[in-house]
A and B are shown apart, each in its own frame.
Chain A
Amino acid sequence: MNKFVALWLAVGLIGFFVLPWYTTDDAFVSFTWLRDGWPLDADYAPAIIQIFAHGKIWLAPLILFFAAVVPVLRGNPSDRLFAATLTFAGAGGLVFLLLQGFTIGIAGWEYASLEALFGPVERQFGMGAGAVLVAAAFLFLLTQGFAARGYVGGDLFVAGSIGLIIALITAFVFFPVSRILVSAFQDNQGVYAFSLFAEKISDSKIWGLRCLSENVSCGVAWNSLMLAVSVGIGSTLLGLAFALVTTRARLKMGKAFRVLTVLPIITPPFVIGLAMILLFGRAGVVTQFMASTFDIPPTRWIYGFTGIWLAQMLAFTPIAFLVLIGVVEGVSPSMEEAAQTLRADAWTTFSTVSFPLMRPGLANAFLLGFIESMADFGNPFVLGGNYGVLSTEIFFAIVGAQNDQGGAAVLAIVLLAFTLTAFYVQRRWVGKKSYVTVTGKGDAGLHAMLPKRLTWLIFAIVIPWTFMMLVIYCMVMFGGFVETWGRDHSFTMRHYADAFSVTTGEHGLIWSGAAWNSFWTTISISAIAAPLTAGLGLLTAYLLVRQRFAGREAFEFGTMLSFAIPGTVIGISYILAFNIPPLELTGTGIILIICFMFRNMPVGLRAGVAAMSQLDKNLDEASLTLGANSFTTVRNVILPLLRPAIAAALVFSFVRAITSVSAVIFLVSADYHMATAYIIGRVENGDYGLAIAYSSVLILVMLAAVSLVQLVISRRKLGRRTAVAGAEQAGAVAT
């Protein structure tokens, strides 16, 4: 008996005969059905009872696809009939399931022509637990069929993983995004109008270049592009500087740097921007000081390109740092020592050995910085002045006075074109060279120290930067304890009391602060999303780096898509796609978790790709030769070597879930309210005190979480000598 087929057949049958087929009320799935009339009640009945008791006869053919699998239960995987049967049953079942889901909706037939053909039908709601299990069963039967045909070397785990990720990305990225992009080609009444698209995409507001000759602002596309390139380059260099300082300079405060560089990543949006205005704005502390001491007249220089660039550099350098630190640590000391043995000096070693080996890391860091800058909404919103960028224009095209969803979709297409081009260029630059440095062979070397001149240069950049960050964060913390930030600086605990007071009542503690509700929701949703996001990202990275399969490029492209699209567009597209059956998710916590998973997965993916390119494939092969299957290899060989990448992915998905705004704002509901949405409300109302107090608490919580992750899993054991013991020796080599 083929265990795999039997298992997924069983799962599918449980989905069909036991679990509720439809979602219940507003929930996707909940457990109340167990006591509320299951299995006969129309709301909670499994598919089999829906067919016979509630007139949902169109579900009946599904069982045929399961029946088709039974004859091959005892089949031989190398048999051609086995493969053909599984492929047919899996694909057929999936297609039928989707077809009935998309054609029969909350009001019966979705298309009038079908109603004319078949007569009226019962209405049906969104798919529930039963339907999800059935879909999963069909999917894995299908991938089993593909594997049996010899796809990806017949590896079940790899085939299943590819199938799963493709299915998820199709459902939660392509499907919703296409829903909104289509509106680029429609007018406001939903009629297709391609001339309108041509007119909108060639608008001089997007592409105008008059700024070169006159004092007007350029098209938003150019603005965004210039900003993103500058931020990408800047944050990559700075991130590299920090990574080198922490790993390769004789510096006792390396750890402290790590914490400091992570701070901006855990700062809720708007906070840095607001602090920068209070420091460098026309009435800012620094500006006023300069005015009174050096007689420099206060100006509004912070509003515009410079301000956004500074704020984004502060915000995104840590991402580059997180990607690069794993790579910088991963560069094999043996190679550097080999260079030194061949009498290369420190500079030559660095520029010809260490630096080129960091290339995938640099390219990935640049790509992330570029995309983040393109999609960032908070900083351009606060500091943009008259410098319009695509992300803010998109937001206001949707929620602003114009209410032009089609216009927003057009801008989103422009933005996507940019990010995808960057993605392509990055791939060309990294090329097909080998960046392998972690092999199975003994590698007990020590990292070469940086050349002296470079060390000083890096210090000259890193120290002022660190100082500026400290000042900004002191400003922020201070803002939570004063009456009115920037005006009345008398000490108060009022904001913290408003947000986080706890009183005792008759039944014990009462969480009476205004922030508690959204605080707990945020923490629990983020905590659920983080491991799922990291797992998905790393699994995808493994498939991309380690497996060769047809359609790999398209697969990689798909995974980057949701990251590259600004949150506002994702938010609206999720409502458009998931507010109606077959997947009815709005108003639940699940839609938030899914949104976070697919938006933040690419970071885990990039970190994983960068780190995995350094692992020698011989390691996997050795494991496979010794009889382990690919799943065991991933778990016992690759994962332990990827600890820094795992830590980065976990940390990043957790904090991004807590700090993201633009997508979340459309997905929060009364039961699932997120912290950032609450904070934005306060900022809109000019109540900075509470917003800052809440942000400070979030920063502390995330800092604790980050430290915990760092402590538990961030170090991988590469069998190298430890730095402390060998520091003097290494120093001697370097000088």
Chain B
Amino acid sequence: MKKQITFIVGGLAAAWLAGTPALAAEKLTLYCSPQIEWCNLMVEAFEKETGIDVAMTRKSSGETFAQIKAEARNPKGDVWWGGTGDPHLQAAEEGLTEEYTSPVFDKLHPWAQNQAKSASMKTVGIYAGALGIGYNKELLAAKGLPAPESWADLAKPEYKGEVQIANPNSSGTSYTTLATLVQIMGEDEAFDLMKAMHKNVNQYTKSGSAPIKAAARGETTIGITFMHDMVTQVVNGFPIEIVAPTEGTGYEIGSMSIIKNARNMESAKKFYDFALNADIQTRAREAKAYQVPSNSGATPPDESPDLTKLKLIDYDFAKYGSSAERKRLLKRWDDEVGSLPR
């Protein structure tokens, strides 16, 4: 019996040791969704400027949203920084995030201001990235195919089995593409195009940026993703060419939200103001982030596509970000496109 107790007590003691966190005076728990380098850059810069101790966890935006939702009754995080705007808008819609207007707000680009207002100031844009078509130029040349120039081109029979795009049910990127096509050409026409494109699609990937990674490594010829993901592949030395579709294109707004009932509300607001500053946004390129910053005073990285030269559509975030509209469009996609034979 004695040994049994020793065993149990030993186990408990081991468990105790593992459960000891650090205590600090002023702190901030940050949920960060972009790549880790960018998260680290933000944390270091913020700690240096304010002396506030930041505990940062990096998870993708979908994972973070699921976590914030699960933690809603007893929030553990303070600020959710970065990641595509859709889940931020959903969080705002479900009342998981806090309303806040930063003093820096007026300095933001109009697209960022509009998005924030559409969510009654419960989230704010920190960067933007446009959708595009990327292709592997070596593979395209080897197959003797013409370069695609528009969304409509993707339905051409010569691209059979060469196009990759994410499944809009699992990927926010792909849902943005779907919503973009609907806004450019009208709903029925957009679905006709996607049905025609279906034969060319070799795989509907789960993750949004997978198509361009596959294109980079020659697993597919054409991939549809955000342009800044393509830039990353180009910088990594892959033969990717970026195309801005002639019909115009949609975009995502990477966002930031303060979590409702955050434990460190003061620090959260400090971080919020800090993250909207021009200086820190300009430094994004140090972390190989090629999105366009939301502060009009910040300089976008040289590599990033110039949003002013793109034909950007007037993306209706309020309508296409709402869960009712999303459900309806995804259902239609399932019924009319996803279930088609190959």
List residues of chain A with CB under 8 Å of any chain B CB.
Answer: 3-4, 7, 25-32, 106, 129, 132, 136, 156-157, 160, 188, 204-205, 210, 214-216, 277-278, 281-283, 300, 303, 381, 384-386, 392, 396, 398-403, 405, 483-484, 486-488, 514, 524-525, 528, 532, 535, 572, 575-576, 579-580, 584, 586-590, 593, 631, 635, 665-666, 668-671, 673, 677-678, 681-682, 684-687
Q: Mark B38-70, 1 if CB is under 8 A from A, else 0.
A: 000000000000000001111110110111011
Some 18 contacts from A to B, beta carbons below 8 A apart, are A205-B334, A216-B340, A216-B342, A278-B217, A283-B218, A386-B204, A399-B66, A400-B169, A401-B168, A401-B171, A572-B70, A575-B67, A588-B21, A593-B18, A671-B55, A681-B35, A685-B36, A687-B35
Among all A-B residue pairs, the 6 with the closest Cβ atoms: A283-B218, A399-B62, A670-B55, A396-B170, A589-B18, A400-B170
Q: B233's closest neighbor in chain A, by CB?
A: A686
Q: Are A590 and B237 in contact (CB under 8 A)?
A: no
Q: What residues of chain B have their CB less than 8 Å away from a CB belonging to chain A?
A: 1, 3-5, 7-8, 11-12, 14-16, 18-23, 29-30, 35-36, 55-60, 62-63, 65-67, 69-71, 73-74, 76, 86-87, 90, 139, 161, 167-172, 174-175, 202-204, 206-207, 209, 213, 216-220, 232-233, 236-238, 323, 326-327, 330, 334, 339-342
Q: Is the CB of A579 within 8 A of B74?
A: yes
Max chain A CB contacts within 10 Å: which of B30, B74, B327?
Answer: B74
Contacts of A215 in B (CB 8 A): 341-342
Of the candidates A25, A188, A403, the one having the most CB atoms from chain B within 10 angstroms of its own CB is A403
A684 adjacent to B170 (CB under 8 Å): no
In the assembly, what is the distance between CA of A524 and CA of B15, in Å? 11
Is there an interface contact between B63 and A590, defined as CB atoms closer than 8 Å? no
Which residues from chain A contact B209 at a C-beta distance below 8 Å? 684, 686
Are A631 and B1 neighbours in the complex by a CB distance under 8 Å? Answer: yes
Query: Are A580 and B73 in touch, CB under 8 angstroms?
Result: yes
- 20 new A-B contacts at CB < 8 Å, known A216-B342, A403-B62, A579-B76: A28-B19, A30-B16, A30-B19, A30-B20, A32-B23, A205-B334, A281-B218, A283-B139, A283-B218, A300-B202, A303-B203, A401-B86, A401-B169, A402-B326, A575-B70, A586-B71, A588-B21, A666-B70, A668-B59, A686-B216
* Nearest A residue to B90, CB-CB: A403
B273 to chain A, nearest CB (A): 22
What CA separation (Å) do A156 and B5 show in the bound complex? Answer: 13
Contact residues in A for B14 (Cβ distance below 8 Å): 528, 532
Determine the distance from Cα of A684 to Cα of B57 in the docked complex, in whole angstroms.
15
- A300 and B59 contacting across the interface, CB-CB below 8 Å: no
B63 in contact with A665 (CB, 8 Å): yes
**B286 to A: closest C-beta gap in Å:** 15
A528 touches B35 (CB 8 A): no
- A32-B23, A283-B217, A396-B170 known; A216 and B339 CB under 8 Å? yes
Known interface pairs A385-B203, A673-B57. Does A402 touch B71 (Cβ–Cβ under 8 Å)?
A: no
Q: Of the candidates B19, B60, B87, which one forms a contact with A403 in the assembled complex, judged by CB atoms under 8 Å apart?
A: B87
Nearest B residue to A8 via CB reads B5
A26 vs B139: C-alpha distance when bound (angstroms): 53
Asked whether A398 and B66 contact (CB < 8 A) given A381-B206, A686-B233, the answer is: yes
Q: Is the CB of B56 within 8 A of A670?
A: yes
Contact of A686 among B69, B87, B213 (CB under 8 A): B213
Tell me the minimal C-beta distance from B116 to chain A in angstroms.
Answer: 21
> Closest CB-CB distance, A106 to chain B, in whole Å?
6
> How long is the Cα–Cα vector from A677 to B67 in the complex, in angstroms?
15
- Rounded to whole angstroms, the CA-CA distance of A274 and B62 in the bound complex is 23
The reply to whether B15 and A400 contact each other, CB–CB distance below 8 Å, is no
Contact check, A29 vs B63: say whether CB atoms are below 8 A apart: no
